[in-house]
Structure 1
Amino acid sequence: MNKQQKQALQALKTARGQVDATIRMLEEGRYCVDVSNQIIASQALLKKANLLILKQHMEHCVAEAFQQGNGSEKIEEIMQILAKITSR
């Protein structure tokens, strides 16, 4: 596992903990704005993890595909992911 994968894994584990805490907050009837802020924090961690994974993918998988002469398929994959990210 490389550095970016380790960072992404840590962000995902932290997000998991935040989601669990957010669920407890909601079950306990905590203030809605506090719950919303926890959700936003979890989303930020998921976004961070996704960007780290995509960076690793581009640096390794996409670069390797271009070296082998078949990078256009990998570019299409990245474009599909970017379309999903930006359509929100």
Structure 2
Amino acid sequence: MNEERKKAMQSLKTAKGQIEGIIKMIEDERYCVDISNQIMAAQSLLKKANLIILKKHMHTCVKDACSTGDADVKIEEIISILEKVMSK
């Protein structure tokens, strides 16, 4: 596994632990603002992992598609992701 994927995996595993902690906080009826802060921290880790994965995709899959003349599909995939991000 390359370094980028290791970083993404670590972010995802940390987010998983945070989400498990958030569930426990809700079950324990902890303070709402504290729960909200933990949710935002987990979201940040998910965004970080997503960025790492998308960068890797651009540097490998999209780059390879451009050199073989098959770039249109990969470009549309990236546009679709950007539309999802921008619509939030």
| TM-score bracket for the superposition, by shorter chain length | over 0.9
Partner of 1:60: 60
- In structure 2, distance between residues paired with 1:9 and 1:76: 26
Partner of 1:48: 48
Q: How does 1:3-82 map to 2 (within 5 A)?
A: 3-82=3-82
Q: Any gaps of 5 or more consecutive residues in structure 2?
A: none
TM score, norm. by length of structure 1: 0.97
- In structure 1, distance between residues paired with 2:4 and 2:55: 8
Residue-pair matches, total:
88
* Amino-acid identity (%): 57
CA shift for structure 1 position 2? 1.6
Could you list the structure 1 runs, at least 4 aligned residues long, displaced by more than 2 angstroms after superposition: none
Q: Any gaps of 5 or more consecutive residues in structure 1?
A: none
Cα RMSD (Å) of the superposition? Answer: 0.6
